[in-house]
Amino acid sequence: MGKLMVFRRMATIGLVLSVIAAASGALAMNAPWEYLFNGNNLDGWKQVNGTAKYWVEDDCIVGETVKGSPNSFLATEADYSNFVLEYEFKISDDQLNSGVQFRSAQKPEGRVFGYQAEIDGKDRAWTAGIYAEAWRNWLYNLEGVDDARNAFNHGDWNRVRIAAVGNYIRTWINDVPAAFLADDVKQMRDKGFIALQVHGVSGDPKWQVRWRHIKIRDLGATLPTTDGLLVPADTTGQAPPKTATVLVGPDAGLKQWRHSSPDKAIAWKLSDDGVLEIVPKSGSIVTKDNYEDFHLHLEFQTPYKPDAGFQDQGNSGIYIQQRYEVQILDSYGKTWHELTEQDCGAIYKTIKPDLRACRPASEWSVYDIVFRSARWDAAGNKTADARITVVQNGHVIHDDVAIQNKTGAGQQEGPAPRPIMLQEHGNAVKFRNVWIIPLDLSTAKGLEARVDGNALQVTLDGRTFTNYMFDGRQKLPFFYPVIGPASGKTVTEKQLDPYPHHSSLWFGCDRVNGANYWQEGNDRGQILSKGPRIVVSERDKVVFTDECVWKRPEQAPDVSDQRRITITAPNKSTRIIDFEITVKAEKDVTVQKTNHSLFSARMRPALSVSEGGALINAEGAKGEKGTAGVPSPWCDFYGTDNGITEGVAIFQNPSNPEAPTPWFTRDYGFMSPTPLYHMSESEVSFQSGETVQLSYRVVVHEGDTVTAGIPALYKAYAAQAH
């Protein structure tokens, strides 16, 4: 990932790091994102100090300077302690100074004080630096941090992330690391409100700052951590758990090891107290056993060689499966910005550490590594990259990152597990207290996909989220069930009277060259899948493709399509299905005006308007009466069943032809964005070989339209339109 290592999905380490946490007694958490701004009003906010104007416009909070006002702040009503905060901002003039307060409060006279992430459009460009408003002045400016200074987008939107846990605070500007503050624990503030600042100005320029997509992962007030990455306790010297295999220790000997060359004996030195020391030029050693998924604890000590070259200062490495190297080197004293992909803790020549966590040479250091091997299908095709979490000296330096290929001199990737290798690289590096616990992460938390018969199954945390049904005896492929995030029940339904052709979530069309690729009766036409292919099956994403032909018995196809489906689960309350399809006319095709067309959803009856639910579009119109035949970027169905509110929203991609098109909706639980029912002509024709590209996003959500943040989610989707 190069010099600018993006901070990776902080809260997801709850999956694999929980293994370390269980062993160390530390806490790993998986906090969901919560939106602090609902896109509609300023509920949950209050103005403190100053008279600047704040209002809501175009899904943004707008702040505007007012003549004679001191610094003004729009603050959250709630306080926050440990968190990850993200937001986007844009300023109307680079002369406007602004910022976002956090862990802040008011002095008795009303003045706001606390930490501030700077907004600085001037040439100084210290945006995302950390300032102590009305308190301690600059704590971490960006002087010399040129990557971050150059990341600022003048006249456009910028994205900032703040991670604050304990006395450690990190910031990023447009995914580029900016500030990294380890504050004085005697002076630090550990909680307070979040506030949007409009700085006082001279004159009356009416400068504006806009904020949007303000969201937070609230990590709670008490964490047994040492920095902003949900860190477990330092495990140096930790005794092996009963379930561990001791690889290096006082009573382990060398029985778990062999020389990397099978015909050679191990020449490394092993002391009576269980310290194993490399003998330079004697070769590397590998475990006798092969390992797939595991937790490895390893303590090491590099020699002090200040006059040696960069890669000769205590160089060694841990080759996982003899394929992927975690580097060992004396990198003590380097700043994070000086670290490279070849320094201590790096996934060698691939990913530099997220933090600097090195101890001086001749002191013992510790790695705790949780590794999930790459996944392969029966044909030997890789379906998921290897993933790794590395904790160095109590600091998470790699947070559940994917390793896309072998590193350095590693062996080629393949389905078979392989040994762990300790590298001899000409340095007398020492090892002690090395132990390993094999894990079964085959059903690890997150998304996974597999084909079982005539269904492609997508699971989340080991439980079904949806199946893509493609049996050749069906009318067409469809998704069923589509499980809601809170109830565990499907939010869609299929084959309900009097419309048994409604198939949960599907794509089809009636009246295509006289054929019917919608309603029951396979003799009238079928959409036949050639069999989906899994492209990606990783914890945070599933991607698969499918090719379908639209044909009637004994006839050449009228149409074919290529579809690509991406499924994600960004938080515990939201599931997303992105459906992209390219439809190709295999001959000259005429489609007559029809309401039975294109992408559609049929809700579970309990969530329909007819049974007390709601249907709303982007303009706020409600029900069939307000949404049918009305162009709109999105519609959202939701309802409450047994006290649980869930729903389904469909977004039209702005790049779709004629988007946003009118909708065909029904209160009994049907919705479909389709231009084919509302076109002015009676039919539309396509020449053989002509294609049409369409994209949709399905958001399966807990809560109603507002609490699910549907307007903001659509805005983010539209911004990525293609």
pLDDT of residue 14: 33
Q: What token pair was written down for 361?
A: 């040479």
Confidence of residue 571 (pLDDT cuts 50, 70, 90): confident
CA–CA gap between residue 562 and residue 527 (Å, rounded): 12
DSSP 8-class letter at 238:
P
The 10 Å CB-count burial string (b at 16+, else e) for 229-246 is bbbbbbbeebebeeebbb
pLDDT of residue 2: 25
pLDDT at 591 over 70: yes
pLDDT of residue 722: 56
CA–CA gap between residue 377 and residue 385 (Å, rounded): 12
pLDDT of residue 7: 25
Which has the higher per-residue pLDDT, 149 or 218?
A: 149
How much is the pTM? 0.45
CA–CA gap between residue 424 and residue 217 (Å, rounded): 43
Residues 6+ apart with CB under 8 A from 229: 10, 13, 163, 165, 354, 355, 395, 396, 399
Average pLDDT over residues 100-119: 95
pLDDT of residue 222: 55
Contact between 86 and 175 (Cβ < 8 Å): no
The 10 Å Cβ neighbour count of residue 179 is 23
Residue 308 exposed, middle or buried by CB count within 10 Å (0-12, 13-18, 19+): middle
- Each residue's pLDDT tens digit, 621-651: 999 999 999 999 999 999 998 888 999 999 9
CA–CA gap between residue 312 and residue 304 (Å, rounded): 10
Q: Which among 610, 594, 612 is positioned nearest to 670, based on CA atoms?
A: 610
The 10 Å Cβ neighbour count of residue 478 is 24
Ramachandran quadrant class, 628 (left: phi over 0; alpha: psi -120 to 50; beta: rest): beta
Confidence of residue 22 (pLDDT cuts 50, 70, 90): very low
Average pLDDT over residues 93-114: 93
CA–CA gap between residue 71 and residue 65 (Å, rounded): 9
CA–CA gap between residue 696 and residue 634 (Å, rounded): 10
pLDDT of residue 572: 81
Q: Where are the beta strands (DSSP E) in 221-364?
A: 245-248, 257-259, 269-270, 276-277, 285-287, 293-301, 316-320, 324-328
Confidence of residue 303 (pLDDT cuts 50, 70, 90): very high
pLDDT of residue 123: 92
Window from 181-190, 298-307, 655-664 with minimum mean pLDDT: 181-190
Residues 6+ apart with CB under 8 A from 426: 280, 281, 312, 315
Number of helices followed by number of strands (H, E) in the chain:
4, 52
Largest interatomic CA distance in the chain: 90
**Strand duo 269-270 + 644-652: pairing:** unpaired
The single residue listed with the structure tokens 């990776």 is: 8
pLDDT at 443 over 70: no
Confidence of residue 165 (pLDDT cuts 50, 70, 90): confident
Per-residue H/E/C for 327-362: EECCCCCCCHHHCCCCCCCCECCCECCCCCCCCCCC
pLDDT of residue 150: 94
Contact between 132 and 115 (Cβ < 8 Å): yes
pLDDT of residue 185: 64
Question: pLDDT > 70: what percent of the chain?
Answer: 93
- Each residue's pLDDT tens digit, 241-284: 777 899 999 999 999 999 999 899 999 999 999 999 999 999 99
Average pLDDT over residues 132-158: 92
Bridge partners (DSSP) of residue 384 are: 375
Give me the phi and psi of 20, to 5 degrees please.
Answer: -65, -45
pLDDT of residue 228: 31
pLDDT of residue 26: 30
- Each residue's pLDDT tens digit, 661-710: 999 999 999 999 998 887 778 889 999 999 999 999 999 999 999 999 99
Residue 630 exposed, middle or buried by CB count within 10 Å (0-12, 13-18, 19+): middle
The single residue listed with the structure tokens 């020492």 is: 430
Which amino acid would we find at residue 322?
Q
Contact between 343 and 327 (Cβ < 8 Å): yes
Which has the higher per-residue pLDDT, 414 or 10?
A: 414
pLDDT of residue 4: 22
Q: Which among 530, 555, 560, 556 is positioned nearest to 545, based on CA atoms?
A: 530
Average pLDDT over residues 15-25: 31
Average pLDDT over residues 421-431: 96
Cα 264 from chain centroid (whole Å): 46
Window from 143-147, 224-228, 500-504, 566-570 with minimum mean pLDDT: 224-228
Ramachandran quadrant class, 124 (left: phi over 0; alpha: psi -120 to 50; beta: rest): alpha
pLDDT of residue 644: 87
Confidence of residue 456 (pLDDT cuts 50, 70, 90): very high
Confidence of residue 184 (pLDDT cuts 50, 70, 90): confident
pLDDT at 225 over 60: no
Q: What token pair was written down for 254?
A: 């060398």
Contact between 650 and 601 (Cβ < 8 Å): yes
What's the distance, Cα to Cα, between the start and end of the chain in Å? 25
CA–CA gap between residue 353 and residue 200 (Å, rounded): 40
Average pLDDT over residues 65-70: 94
CA–CA gap between residue 517 and residue 552 (Å, rounded): 9
The 10 Å Cβ neighbour count of residue 278 is 25
Give me the phi and psi of 498, to 5 degrees please.
Answer: -95, 20
DSSP per-residue letters across 442-496: TT-SSEEEEEETTEEEEEETTEEEEEEE--TTSSS-EEEEEB-TTTSSBSB-EEE
**Strand duo 644-652 + 158-165: pairing:** unpaired
DSSP per-residue letters across 566-627: EEEEEETTEEEEEEEEEEEESS-EEEE--SSEEEEEEB-GGGSGGGT-EEEETT--BHHHHH
pLDDT of residue 371: 92
CA–CA gap between residue 145 and residue 127 (Å, rounded): 11
